[in-house]
Each structure stands twice: as C-alpha cells, then as structure tokens.
Amino acid sequence: MPVTIHDIARLAHVDKSTVSMTLRNHPNARNLRAETRERIRKIARELGYQSNTSAVSIRTGQVNTVAVIGEFGKERMILYSVNLAGIILEASRLNFGIKLFSDLDLKQTFAAVNANRIRHVISMSVEKKKREETAGYARKLGLDLVYIYEHPHEGYPCVTIDNAEAASQAVRHLASLGHRRIALACVPHCFHYIEERHKGYLRGLEESGLPPDPDLIFCSDDTETHIRRLLALPARKRPSAVFAIGDNLAMLTEKTAVQAGFRLPDDLSVFGFGNDPAGKYALSSLSTIEECFELRGRIAVKMLIEKKYELSPARPGFYLVPPKLVIRESTVPWNRSTPAAPRGISSRPPAPSGRPRPKLPTMRTATTAGPNSNKNNGAGFPT
C-alpha cells in the first residue's frame, strides 16, 4: 500500500495537518521548530512518500502534469530554456503543469514520475543510453513519451529539425553568393544531429555542383587549430566561406579569422547553426539556422495531450520541423577582387602582445574526418 501522511504523522509523533503543512512547504510550516520539520521530511524520504497533487488524481489515477526529463545542469539549462518555454506555454494553455526531473538516475526519476501519477513524459536527453533507458521505463509503466532531440526510439516519436536539409540550405545559400570553396567546421560524430549536418553539408555541395574537398573539412574538438590551418592554405586553396555545425563554432571561427588578420565578412563568410542570441552580437552578425525550439516544445505537448500531429512524419517516428535560414551580415557575395588574405598568415596562434613567440615543436594535426567519422570524444548540444 502507498505511504500516507497518516503513516508519517504516527512515526513523527505529530498530527497529519503538521505533516501536510511541512511537505507542502506551506508558509505556516515556518512556525514549527526546524528539527520537527526536518524529522518529518526525513521520515517521508525514508518511507518513499510521494504526495498526490489533487483528489481528482486519486479517482482517475492521473494528474494534469507533464514530466520533462533532461540533464538540468547550469549549462544545459541555458540550452533547454527555449524548449522549456514552448512546453510551458502549451501545457498552460491545456491547463497542465510541468515537472522537471533529472536524467542522472532514471530509475529514481521514473519511480517519482509513477508515484506522482504522471502519464505524459518529454525526454530532452541526448545520450543514446539514457534515451534507451527512458523508453524502457516508459514502456514498462505504460507512459506516453515524446523525444525532442535526436531520433525516435522503440516506437516513441521525436520532434526535431531536419538537420540535413538545414545544412544543405546553408551551403546552397553560400554557393548562391558565388562561394566555391566552402569549408566545414564540424566536431566528432558522437550524436545523430552532427552526422546529419555533416551529410547535409555534402548534399548542399552536390546540389550546387561543387565537389567536396577533404582539405576543407574537419571533425575535431580543436576548432581553432583547424581554422588556422585552413586560413594558412595557399590563396587558390583557401576557403572563402565556412559552414559551422553550431553557432559556437561559427563565432570561434570569426574570432580566429580576425586574430589572423582577416576582415569579416569581406575575406571570409561564416554561416552558423542554432540561432544563438549571442550570434546577433558576434564580430560579424551571424547568419544561422533557426532550430525552432519553442515550436518543437509546443508540438511535443500537443502530441502527448491532444494527440494532435501537426506534422506528417518524414519516416516512422520522425516529425521534422522545417528549418529557417536567418541571414545576417556574416555572409556576403564573394568578391574576386578582394585580397585573399593578409601577408604572413600563419597557422600558429599569435604570441601575446609584446612577447616573442616561443619556438614550438613540430606536431601533427588531427586527421581530417569525413562524413562517416565514428570518433566519440565529445560534442555539445545543438546551439
């Protein structure tokens, strides 16, 4: 039988109203002694007590709440904020609330979800193992589940963006401006979205009639080193534009180019992905892809609660929101008369002001990776 406040009151030697006030964090609970409040909470934790939110939930076995599961650390919350805005707005419209749960211990998380009588779950996890585990618990408990990152799993759908089409559109835009040497700034392929954007880049080149150049492609966590390598190429081989799979990589590309003496965007056009708010204030206001995070959050809630599918699946389980290009100052037509690069460009970072550059040992840069790279040494979320 489930634990009740009567059980807690009996063990804590208080009445049930005192337990209720304490566990609900009622303002009147502050009138109780601190040790009394702590004793009640300790007993509740030990008994595994989870309060039900309303009498309706007792009759129906459900509450009007959507569980949102993800890695809610400081950095992730910044990335999650727009998704959460869409989820909150749509849930509120439908008279539902949301409750956040960490994906660090999914066994404990789903025990809490079940104890709270929550039947609707949105997963914001990106790691494959956690996504698989989430699907397993949802199936075991008979829960509705929608993912809003990466791919669907075990029959549970995913609302995401068409990453390949978005990357292809970005490359085609650069090609339409006259760029013929378009580089790819990528990271190791540890998530589906990275591989999809890489493939979209290659597709965009093909659709623009441009052959891929392995020298202009890298998949590495050391973006700065590889951008310097690209900018140090002879003028006829140097890229006139860079497509980066995330806005953070695009802004780092701009910074590295300026440090190397290039003018933005005249000497180098840069296209990002993610529409990070900081991109507006980049060295050259960043052209990028809008990932429609808020819309994806709204659609996920409608799918769970109203069973409304505003999008037709591109293939089973894949509900893809069309990408939107955001064109700003960082991408301009290629000017053949513009000097290709400042003289004396070096692939090595500049020495600090007023200090001689130390002699560095010769080192081999990371191997350029193609679209099938299977390295897995870390990459961030879409930005």
d(CA 185, CA 22): 53
**Residue range 83-114, pLDDT digits in tens:** 889 999 999 887 789 999 999 999 999 999 99
Instruction: Name every residue whose Cβ is closer than 8 Å to that of residue 217 and which is 6 or more positions away in sequence.
Output: 183, 184, 186, 368, 369, 370
DSSP secondary structure code for residue 369 in this structure: P
d(CA 318, CA 141): 23
Task: To the nearest 10°, report the CA torsion of 227, 252, 260, 197.
Answer: 30
Model pTM score:
0.72
Of the segments 30-34, 312-316, 346-350, which one has the largest average pLDDT value?
312-316
Q: Read off the tokens for 151.
A: 């791919």
**Residue range 2-44, pLDDT digits in tens:** 788 888 999 999 998 898 888 765 657 768 888 898 899 899 8
Question: Residue 312 has what pLDDT?
Answer: 85
- 163-287+327-383 maps to which CATH number? 3.40.50.2300
Q: Are 243 and 200 in contact (CB under 8 A)?
A: no
d(CA 65, CA 119): 8
- Type and span of the H or E element at 76: helix 74-93
Amino acid code (one letter) for 136: G
The domain locations on the chain are: 5-47, 57-156, 163-287+327-383
Question: Residue 313 has what pLDDT?
Answer: 87
**Cβ atoms < 10 Å from Cβ of 210:** 18
What CATH architecture does domain 57-156 belong to? 3-Layer(aba) Sandwich (3.40)
Question: Residue 55 has what pLDDT?
Answer: 45
d(CA 227, CA 255): 10
